[in-house]
Chains A and B, each alone.
Chain A
Amino acid sequence: MKLSITLATSRRILAQLRHDHRTVGLLIGVPTLLMILLRYVIDNPDAFDRWAPMLLGVFPFIVMFIVTSVGTLRERTGGTLERLMTTPLGKLDLLLGYALAFGLLALVQVGVVTAVSVTWLGLDLAGSIWSLVLVAVLDALLGMALGLFASAFARTEFQAVQFMPAFVLPQALLCGLVVPREQMASWLEWISAVLPLSYAVEAMLELSRGDEFTSTLARDLAVIIGCVIVSLMLGAATLRRRTA
């Protein structure tokens, strides 16, 4: 691993995004639009205060999952990965390069959605806004790392996109967003306890309730960071210098 190579990789990914205005527009515009929609569909400020932070945790996760799984699949099928594997670039350089670039993008995405929510939509957040941004960016990194891992199992972009519902929707259903986890059948609650998104949503829930840095919040953050590291390592294991 070499810092200059990692940074060059992030710069390259950001340059690719810079050439693709529409994707960047969608990445930032869609979550904002959904948040506005949510605000007026619910039409109840108290309920919005509970829902909005949870969605702020889920959006970046989903979006980064898709962008990364398609992006890395393109590197695999386009031959650039094979070429990079013959250069001094280390697997970690590539992974951290992606993490850095998409982490930055997630920061912008979450920043815009949060700003719109707090100002225009009147979101009243009990917890600190910085913790919310921190959790949201970690969620984005988690989505990125899982997307990278998932892309190893896709041969085509069609398959990669289908991994989104496969990887993400069960987590979204079980994470406590739709039904609180305590109210689920015990086997479902047990499954939800091993899915990382559950902790992301729990952390957001804590933030919407009060501004103390509770031990639950600390545990949730630790679990999310742990999952990011494990998925990045799984992702690294799927990058092979030699293939058949």
Chain B
Amino acid sequence: MISSAVKTVDLRVDRGGREVLHGLTFEVPRGEIVGLLGPSGCGKTTLIRAVVGVQIVKSGDVTVLGLPAGGADLRRLVGYATQTPAVYSDLTVLENLRYFGSVLGAPRDDADRVIEEVGLAKERDQVVATLSGGQLSRASLAAALLGTPELLVLDEPTVGLDPVLRQELWELFHELADRGVTLMISSHVMDEAARCGRLLLMREGVILADDTPGALRAHTGTDDLEEAFLRLIAEREEARA
């Protein structure tokens, strides 16, 4: 049994002629919910793309469930929800999920299961183009839940959702983690950090911290994770000066 779900070693990525990830090394244990946090433009999406294997990587290794990222054997095991919803706007919610389901080889009734899970039962037969922003991102999230993924990589899945829905989705994420699924969830809302088992704090293409929320609080001497993040940055600046 391989213990880590994701493992990177000195991962470097260039985008638009510039290095945007500067040698990331970290491990995500199996069955864990890992929050990927950091300011806009720090490289969360780029890292996520490298993990699901759609990003051209300059150097370094990315291993997912013990296999090189993006390999054919992983494609059934990794669920991915992109930051901008990726569903067909001219199809209904059900048609979209039926299609992604058959591509993944999921059973036919799986579409209805994930529609329930993201709370879109009423919108099941609605054309995606007519969904509200939050409904649209849930439709896209639902596609990542199809089949039986062992790793879920979700790029800001809760953006634009109200507190009740966010609460429900986080309950779902925890249920999945209890079943042994590993989740890697990006966000730049700090209040979601507390719901994660581990946190990866990023800034400008480097990892500032890779720890549990509790350890971070203890290390920075504050209960507020947002404050902890700011203190870590200040600590870094001092060390550099």
A residues near B (Cβ < 8 Å) are 4-5, 8-9, 11-12, 15-16, 19-20, 78-80, 82-89, 241-244
Contacting pair A244 B15 (CB below 8 A): yes
Contacting pair A8 B56 (CB below 8 A): no
Most B CB within 10 A of own CB, among A15, A82, A86, A241: A86
Bound CA span A243–B75, Å? 17
Distance of A59 from chain B, by nearest CB (Å): 24
Is B41 close to A, CB under 8 A? no
Distance of B83 from chain A, by nearest CB (Å): 9
Assuming the contacts A19-B127, A79-B86, A83-B80, asked whether A243 and B56 have C-beta atoms less than 8 A apart, the reply is yes
Bound CA span A16–B92, Å? 9
Bound CA span A83–B104, Å? 11
Of A4, A8, A241, which is within 8 A of B53 by CB? Answer: A241
Contacting pair B56 A244 (CB below 8 A): yes
Residues of chain B lying within 8 A (CB to CB) of residue A20: 90
Number of interface residues of B (CB under 8 A): 33
Q: Give the interface segment out of B24-32, B94-102, B178-186, B211-219.
A: B94-102
Is B52 close to A, CB under 8 A? yes
Of B16, B52, B104, which is within 8 A of A88 by CB? Answer: B104
Q: Is the interface of B mostly helix, strand, loop or mixed?
A: loop
Contacting pair B91 A19 (CB below 8 A): yes
Residues of chain B lying within 8 A (CB to CB) of residue A85: 54
Contacting pair A84 B78 (CB below 8 A): no
Is B143 close to A, CB under 8 A? yes
Contacting pair B82 A82 (CB below 8 A): yes
Contacting pair A86 B76 (CB below 8 A): no
Of A8, A11, A82, A88, which is within 8 A of B54 by CB? Answer: A82
Contacting pair A243 B95 (CB below 8 A): no
Residues of chain B lying within 8 A (CB to CB) of residue A5: 102-103
Of A16, A83, A87, which is within 8 A of B82 by CB? Answer: A83
Is B2 close to A, CB under 8 A? no
Is B105 close to A, CB under 8 A? yes
Bound CA span A95–B104, Å? 17
Assuming the contacts A88-B75, A241-B70, A244-B56, asked whether A79 and B82 have C-beta atoms less than 8 A apart, the reply is yes
Distance of B76 from chain A, by nearest CB (Å): 6
Is B119 close to A, CB under 8 A? no
Contacting pair A80 B90 (CB below 8 A): no
Residues of chain A lying within 8 A (CB to CB) of residue B84: 79
List B residues 145-167 near A (Cβ within 8 Å). Answer: none
Q: Closest 7 A-B residue pairs measured CB to CB?
A: A79-B86, A8-B102, A12-B99, A83-B86, A88-B75, A86-B80, A86-B52
Please, which residue of chain B has its CB at the minimum distance from the CB of A75? B88
Residues of chain B lying within 8 A (CB to CB) of residue A19: 90-91, 127
Residues of chain A lying within 8 A (CB to CB) of residue B104: 87-88
Bound CA span A82–B81, Å? 10
Please, which residue of chain B has its CB at the minimum distance from the CB of A80? B86
Flag B1-35 by CB within 8 Å of A: 1 or 0 each: 00000000000001110000000000000000000
Contacting pair A242 B90 (CB below 8 A): no
